[in-house]
Amino acid sequence: MKTNNTMTDAAGKEVPVKYVPKYDRERDTAVRRVCAAWEAQRKRLEAVMGDTIDIMEKLTVAREKATGAKIADKGNVSFTSFDGNIKIEICQRYEIKADERVKEAQRLMIEWATGLVREEEGDTRRVLLALIQEAFCATASGSLPYAKIASLLRYEFKAEEWNRAVNLLRDSIQTNIGKRYVVVSRRKSREHDYERVKLDVADCWPEPKEE
**118 contacts 166 by C-beta, under 8 angstroms:** no
**Mean of the pLDDT values across residues 88-116?**
85
In a domain, 124, yes or no: yes
**Rounded-to-integer distance, Cα 25 and Cα 105, Å:** 64
Look up residue 168 and give its amino acid. Answer: L
> Do residue 82 and residue 186 come from a single domain?
yes
**82 within domain boundaries:** yes
- Give the least confident one: 4-8, 75-79, 125-129, 162-166: 125-129
pLDDT at 201: 82
Q: Are residue 31 and residue 109 in the same domain, yes or no?
A: no
- Show the domain range for 177: 72-200
Q: Are residues 110 and 93 in the same domain?
A: yes
Q: Is 153 left (phi over 0), alpha (psi -120 to 50) or beta?
A: alpha
Which residue pairs from 62-70 have beta carbons closer than 8 angstroms and sit at least 24 positions apart in sequence? none
Do 79 and 181 share a structural domain? yes
Give the whole-angstrom CA distance, residue 3 versus residue 140: 47
178 has pLDDT over 80: no
Distances (CA, A) of 102 to 25, 136, 200: 60, 9, 37
Q: Are residues 103 and 48 in the same domain?
A: no
Domain contains 209 = no
The pTM score is 0.60
Residues 9 and 19 in one domain: yes
99 and 88 fall within a common domain: yes
* Largest pairwise CA distance in the chain: 87
Contacts of 170 (CB under 8 A, 6+ apart): 153
| Domain finish residue from 50, 70, 90 | 70
Average pLDDT over residues 25-52: 94
Number of domains in the chain: 2
Same domain, 54 and 80: no
Report the pLDDT averaged over residues 149-156.
86
Q: Do 56 and 101 have their domain in common?
A: no
Domain end (from 40, 70, 100): 70
Identify whether 10 is part of a domain: yes
Give the Cα separation of 139 and 136 in Å (integer): 9
Instruction: Please tell me whether residues 16 and 83 are part of one structural domain.
Output: no
How far is CA 5 from its chain centroid?
A: 48
User: Is residue 120 included in any domain, yes or no?
Assistant: yes
Are 58 and 31 in the same domain?
yes
pLDDT at 20 over 80: yes
- Provide the terminal-to-terminal Cα distance of the chain, rounded to the nearest Å: 38
Give all strands of the β-sheet with 86-98 in edge-to-edge order.
Answer: 77-80, 86-98, 173-186, 195-196
Choosing from 47, 70, 93, the residue where a domain stops is 70
Q: Is residue 108 part of a domain?
A: yes
Let me know if residue 176 belongs to a domain. Answer: yes
| Same domain (yes/no): 114, 179 | yes
d(CA 153, CA 164): 12
Residue 211 lies in a domain: no
CA 172/CA 121 separation, integer angstroms: 31
